[in-house]
Amino acid sequence: MRLRRAVIDALVRHARDQAPLECCGLLIGSPGVVEESYPVQNLRNSRVAFQVDPAGHFTAIRKARDRGLAVVGAYHSHPTSEAVPSETDLREANDPYLLHVIVSLRGAEPVLRGYRITTETAVEVELRIADEASSDSRSAISD
Q: Can you give the residue ranges of every domain in the chain?
A: 2-142
Average pLDDT over residues 77-104: 95
For this structure, is 22 an active site residue?
yes
Q: What pLDDT score was predicted for residue 135?
A: 44
Q: What global pTM score does this model have?
A: 0.92
- At the fourth CATH level, which superfamily is domain 2-142? Cytidine Deaminase, domain 2 (3.40.140.10)
Average pLDDT over residues 25-51: 97
Find the catalytic residue in 22, 82, 109, 124: 22
Average pLDDT over residues 63-90: 97
Q: What pLDDT score was predicted for residue 139?
A: 59
Please state whether beta strands 140-142 and 128-129 pair in parallel, antiparallel, or not at all (unpaired): unpaired
Q: What pLDDT score was predicted for residue 143?
A: 60
d(CA 12, CA 15) in angstroms, rounded, equals 5
- Considering only 70-74, 85-89, 133-137, which range has the smallest mean pLDDT? 133-137
The DSSP code sequence of 82-121 is -SS--HHHHHH---TTSEEEEEE-SSSS-EEEEEEEETTE
- What tens digit of pLDDT does each residue of 107-138 get? 999 999 999 998 779 999 999 999 865 544 45
